[in-house]
Amino acid sequence: MAKKEIEELTGHLLSDFLADKGYELYDLEFVKEGPDWFLRVYIEKKQGDAAAPEKIHIGTEDCEKVSRFLSKKLDEKDPIKQNYYLEVSSPGIDRELVTDEHYKRYIGHRVLIKLYVPEDGRKEIEGILKKVTKDRVIITDRDEKEIELPREKIVKTRLAIEI
């Protein structure tokens, strides 16, 4: 089974279970690193459950529940022929923004953007995420300067950790 198909199947296997348990799938990936394969699943609590800070954080027991469920389902279907490691975790406070939905959800938040080629002499730009279009990401930097970055020049965007 191809990498993309494994990711789609995993998302499908998880969808009802996550919804029933009050979780959302943030992202998932099936990747090879060196000689090893990893199926990584990133979960978070449903955004509507953000009544109290302690209710929005994913704990090890949450990850364990999802891991046990998914492991059982994958063992039943056996879609992955090679050996792999299953990892279930939170996307973290410095989470990567991968989808358009992620970008839109975090408008108004501080982000750190890494670029393929320097922009104004910098390969990393930090600022407040202001707007996202199909082709561009717009932030304002510390000097309140608006910076418009073509999405094809962006390697990775993460939420910045504010100290």
The domains of the chain are located at: 3-89, 100-159
CATH assignment, 100-159: 2.30.30.180
Distance CA 44, CA 140 (A): 28
Q: Which CATH number does the domain 3-89 belong to among 3.40.30.10, 3.40.50.1000, 3.30.300.70, 3.30.230.70?
A: 3.30.300.70
Tell me which of 17-26, 42-51, 81-90, 136-145 is least confident: 42-51
Q: Record the pTM.
A: 0.85
pLDDT digits (tens, 9 = 90+) for 55-66: 568 999 999 999
Identical fold between 3-89 and 100-159:
no
**pLDDT digit string, tens, across residues 86-121:** 999 999 999 999 999 999 999 999 999 999 999 888
